[in-house]
Amino acid sequence: MEGKPLEKDTYPNQHGRSKLKRGLFAAVGTIFLGLGAVGVFLPILPTTPFLLLSTACYYKSSNRMHQWMLNNRWFGNYIRNYKEGRGIPFKTKIFTATLLWTVITYSALFHVGSILIIQTTLFIIAAAVTIHIARLPTLKKPS
């Protein structure tokens, strides 16, 4: 599947869907894509679920947009590897966890002041995301 477009008949019958439904799926997919892109820079916002939701919405709305997501040079491999259960590279795990904890710690200490419930919530979110990242399979480089 890597880099190859899916055969036309592997897509749902998009012609059976109304233009309104396909348009709504495309619009929602674009919103999820935007949230996923923002999540790359804001560790509090999860990137992967939004990119996967975007891919699913594009799958139901547009063959062209779905293929664009899967073959995108920035996150196409990421989506395919995650979707196929291959995981993410170790460097990406380390970078993500480091950035996450740096931003969360900075926010908790300097932006929310002494509001203990918010600080605690931020650290719980960071811990949960770190556990999720650690539990993902580590993508091995091809030999």
pTM higher than the cut 0.95: no
Place of tokens 């996150």: 75
Q: What secondary structure does DSSP assign to 36-88, as a single string?
A: HHHHHH-TTS-SHHHHHHHHHHHHHH-HHHHHHHHH-TTTHHHHHHHHTT--B
Give me the mean pLDDT over the 79-90 stretch: 84
Q: CA 135, CA 138: separation in Å to the nearest integer?
A: 9
Supply 130's token pair: 């770190």
pLDDT in tens, 98-129: 888 998 898 888 887 778 999 999 999 999 98
The pLDDT of residue 130: 92
Domain count, the chain: 2
- Across 16-20, 41-45, 71-75, the highest mean pLDDT is recorded for 71-75
Residue 8's pLDDT is what?
A: 46
Domain that holds residue 125: 90-135
Query: Quick check: is 31 in a domain?
Result: yes
In this structure, are 78 and 110 located in the same domain?
no
The length of the chain is: 143
Q: Tens of pLDDT along 31-63?
A: 999 988 888 787 777 777 788 889 999 999 999
Strand partners, 138: 88
Residue 109 forms part of a structural domain: yes
Residue 9 pLDDT > 50: no
Q: Is 37 a domain residue?
A: yes
29 domain residue, yes or no: yes
- Give percent of the chain above pLDDT 90: 34
Is 28 a residue whose pLDDT tops 90? Answer: yes
Token pair, residue 133, equals 């990242």
Which segments within 11-140 are labelled E, that is strand? Answer: none
Asked if pLDDT for residue 1 goes beyond 70, the answer is no
60 lies in the same domain as 115: no
pLDDT of residue 33: 92
What average pLDDT does the segment 2-25 reach?
A: 65
